[in-house]
Amino acid sequence: MDGAEKPLNSLRYNNEMSLFVAVDIGGTHMRAASYTSDSLEPLKHNKVETLASEAGGFERLLGVIESIWPSGESVEAIGLGSPGPLDPHTGYLLAPPNNPEWHNFPLAPKISEHFGVKAYLDNDANLAGLAEYRYGAGQGHHHVLYLTISTGVGGGVIIDDRLLQGYHGLAAELGHSIVEPHGEICSCGFAGHLEAYSSGTAIVKRFCSELEAGSRSSLKRGDEITAQSIAEAAMAGDPLANQVYQRAGEYLGIAVASFLHTFDPSIVIFGGGVSQVGDLLFKPFHASLQNRVFYPRYLEGVTFTNAALGDNAGLLGALALARMMSGK
Amino acid sequence: MDGAEKPLNSLRYNNEMSLFVAVDIGGTHMRAASYTSDSLEPLKHNKVETLASEAGGFERLLGVIESIWPSGESVEAIGLGSPGPLDPHTGYLLAPPNNPEWHNFPLAPKISEHFGVKAYLDNDANLAGLAEYRYGAGQGHHHVLYLTISTGVGGGVIIDDRLLQGYHGLAAELGHSIVEPHGEICSCGFAGHLEAYSSGTAIVKRFCSELEAGSRSSLKRGDEITAQSIAEAAMAGDPLANQVYQRAGEYLGIAVASFLHTFDPSIVIFGGGVSQVGDLLFKPFHASLQNRVFYPRYLEGVTFTNAALGDNAGLLGALALARMMSGK
């Protein structure tokens, strides 16, 4: 009704020119990019080192956003992704890892105030899941389970085309699901979480403790031992390295069985560096999952796949959030 | 726009007179009731024995619905609740317990065809959760976790004011979450489910096996041993009975910690007979939960409470489903 009073050309022009800014705050870099309302190709993009433990992080963040700010155009919203815990409802960072400056920090409100544009915040795993749903492997699905398997394990869940956030905005912390109640201690300090079994950190920790206990391996104490080097050893036939990935895959299967019983998704998408190892992790995963799903219909027509967006998932997730909150 | 052509009185009359029929198919009884669009007091209600293993179940069901059918009034929709597994998207029962006649049975389509009215189906635990959210303990909340602890353990989850159903309609089977991967065998045949630790059946089984193994108790082999009689013995000071409830509560705390990390609800509602025992179950539950929630904010402002609707949850859930699907 309102639109009828404006010239049609002006409406079209405004619509085409509505722009979005996406910001991905990672452990090593803060990245920012600007986009039109219908493209995934950034107009401008830039990055700067995060240096989380050094002062002046917020100023560095403002600088990188300003460097990609589209001149003379109107930005509709800014999307921000960061490691949690954080509150997407208020836009506050609560306790980001290694960054005491940003504890209980009103990130989205301050960014919004500085640029005079609405700003929205959510955690990196939720946003990677949202990005895969909107632009990646999950397109066309309405019920998506995304898991990132990296240093930690994170989750992002889409239910009926909506991002699961929860009352405090802390939902979908699937890496902290309890899979072995009296088991390994997680990086968070609590016992038996999925992350304590299937993350890159857990794989390295298990491998090293078996090595210490006298297990034989082609990798020796003093070698650089990473999830990647263990994977390479496993593929070259190292029994200990294989056994450690076998265990990570088994527990991943146990957890995902419970997630299927819980969310009943039509697609399960794996992102993160550790998910790149392929069969080494996913063969034991699928064997375990098959043994654990209690009713076969949960698996009917369900796709298991790798994430499609790679390193861009963070920025594209922040973009997806900004567009979603603007109804686009 | 359409309405402008009709007399206002007729519109009002139709709106006031839109009626709903609710049906609750339980293990022992099938219950049916009719309601106006805005009241929880049935206009008529009736019940008949389920007799699941006897032929003619569908005719008995039609009979009890016909007996409460409002004469001369227009029914807008029928809501049906039944034990699962079932498909809420198609209205098919898949494999209801003890009822071979109803395997892969198009219950909602057949009911809809018979009465010439839309019919919707979902499982009893989902509907009890929906009923508590709309009419019971969960009113005013947007993120609700409902758990029924009875012969089995079932879940019903509301996320952002919507019932979690999933791709196949099999979501929220929270009793089949894995809490101890190499643990007790569940009634479904799979290892380590919550239901195998915290259901009434699990409590009785554990108690009897401890008794067999020589543990002392005021209850003896040959006594009628039920979750209720064990609870009475526990409250009278029986150590074995206490220990068995302690374990059920501990595992319930482990599971609910993972559910908080997953759904981040603002209220957790417990229904079902076993949840009536109070502190016997909930004291160890809360101690366990406190030890397991990995970030304190999950508990901030969160309510833990008993279900408010009791035996009416089944019918009121079916009513809530019929109204919800009709946009009311």
Buried b (16+ CB within 10 A) or exposed e, A173-197: bbbbbbbbbeebebbeebbbbbbbb
Same domain, A36 and A79: yes
- CB-based contact A277:A252 (threshold 8 Å): no
A170 and B94 in contact by Cβ < 8 A? no
Q: Which of A121, A125, A129 is nearest to A162 (CA)?
A: A129
Token pair in block for residue B216 = 């002392």
User: B70 in helix, strand or coil?
Assistant: coil
What are the tokens at A13? 């022009």
Residue B146 pLDDT more than 60? yes
CA distance A23 to A103: 19
In this model, does residue B231 exceed pLDDT 50?
A: yes
Q: Using one digit for the tens of pLDDT, what is the confidence trace for B304-315? A: 999 999 989 999
Work out the average pLDDT over B91-102.
88
AA letter at A125: A
Q: Do B296 and B240 reside in the same domain of the chain?
A: yes
Are B105 and B286 in contact by the 8 Å Cβ rule? The answer is no
Task: For B100-157, give the DSSP string.
Answer: GGGTTB-HHHHHHHHHTSEEEEEEHHHHHHHHHHHHSTTTT-SSEEEEEESSSEEEEE
CA distance A216 to A205: 16
Are residues B93 and B176 located together in one domain of the fold? no
Cα three-residue angle B178-B179-B181, rounded to 5 degrees: 70
- B167: domain CATH number is 3.30.420.40
Residues A238 and A194 in one domain: yes
Q: Domain span at residue A149?
A: 138-307
**Contact at 8 Å (CB) between B238 and B223?**
no
Which of A89, A94, A252, A262 to substitute to test the interface with B, most B CBs within 10 Å? A262
Place of tokens 């892969």: B104
Predicted confidence (pLDDT) at residue B8 exceeds the cutoff of 60: no
Q: Are B324 and B130 in contact (CB under 8 A)?
A: yes
Q: Which two tokens stand for residue A55?
A: 């002062």
Closest residue in A to B300 (Cα–Cα):
A168
Residues B93 and B141 in one domain: no
What is the Cα–Cα distance from B41 to A302, expressed in whole angstroms?
42
**In terms of domains, do B121 and B147 share one?**
no
The answer to whether the beta carbons of residues A50 and A81 sit under 8 Å apart is: no
- Can you give the pLDDT at residue B251? 98
> Cβ separation of B181 and A179 shorter than 8 Å?
yes
Mean pLDDT, range B235-245, rounded to an integer: 98
Distance from CA of A303 to the nearest CA of B (A): 12
CB contact under 8 A, A164 and B292: no
pLDDT at B18: 87
- pTM for the structure as a whole: 0.94
Residue B15 pLDDT more than 80?
no
ipTM confidence score = 0.94
User: Tens-of-pLDDT digits for all 328 residues of chain A?
Assistant: 333 344 443 334 444 568 999 999 998 999 999 999 999 999 999 999 998 888 899 999 999 999 999 987 799 999 999 999 999 999 999 988 778 889 999 999 999 999 999 999 999 999 999 999 999 999 999 999 999 999 999 999 999 999 999 999 999 999 999 999 999 999 999 999 999 999 999 999 999 999 999 999 999 988 999 999 999 999 999 999 999 999 999 999 999 999 999 999 999 999 999 999 999 999 999 999 999 999 999 999 999 999 999 989 999 999 999 999 999 8
The residue in chain B having the minimum alpha-carbon distance to the alpha carbon of residue A297 is: B168
For residue B10, CA distances in Å to A51, A106, B189 come to 69, 54, 57
Asked if A186 and A256 sit in the same domain, the reply is: yes
What whole-number distance in Å separates Cα of residue A264 and Cα of residue A300?
11
Vertex B224 angle, CA B221 and B227, to 5°: 105
Clarify whether residues B141 and B290 are in a common domain.
yes
Residues comprising chain B, all counted: 328
Co-location of A114 and A143 in the same domain: no
Give A312's contacts (C-beta < 8 A, 6+ positions apart). Answer: A131
pLDDT at position A281 is 98
**Same domain as A202, residue A77:** no
Q: What is the pLDDT of residue B16?
A: 53
Q: Chain A partners of B166 at a C-beta cutoff of 8 Å?
A: 143, 159, 263-265
pLDDT per position as a tens digit, B242-291 = 999 999 999 999 999 999 999 999 999 999 999 999 999 999 999 999 99
Which residues, listed in sequence order, are joined to residue B155 by a DSSP beta bridge? B147
Chain B residues touching A181 at Cβ < 8 A: 179-180, 251, 254
- Determine the distance from the C-alpha atom of residue B13 to the mean position of all C-alpha atoms in its chain, rounded to a whole number: 34
| Sole residue written with tokens 């317990």 | B97
pLDDT given for residue A16 in this prediction: 53
Task: Let me know: does B205 contact B262? Beta carbons within 8 Å.
Answer: no
What pLDDT, on a 0 to 100 scale, did the predictor assign at position B317?
A: 98
Please check whether residues B302 and B316 belong to one and the same domain.
no
Decide the pairing of beta strands B75-82 and B19-25: parallel
A16 and A155 both lie in a single domain: no
Q: Using alpha carbons only, give the angle B276, B273, B310 rounded to the nearest 5 degrees.
A: 85
Nearest to A166 among B166, B258, B264 (CB): B264
What pLDDT is attached to residue B25? 96
Domain count, chain B: 2
- Per-residue pLDDT tens digits for B173-224: 999 999 999 999 999 999 999 999 999 999 999 999 999 999 999 999 889 9
In this structure, is the dihedral angle defined by the CA atoms of residues A232, A237, A239 and A243, taken in order, positive or negative? positive
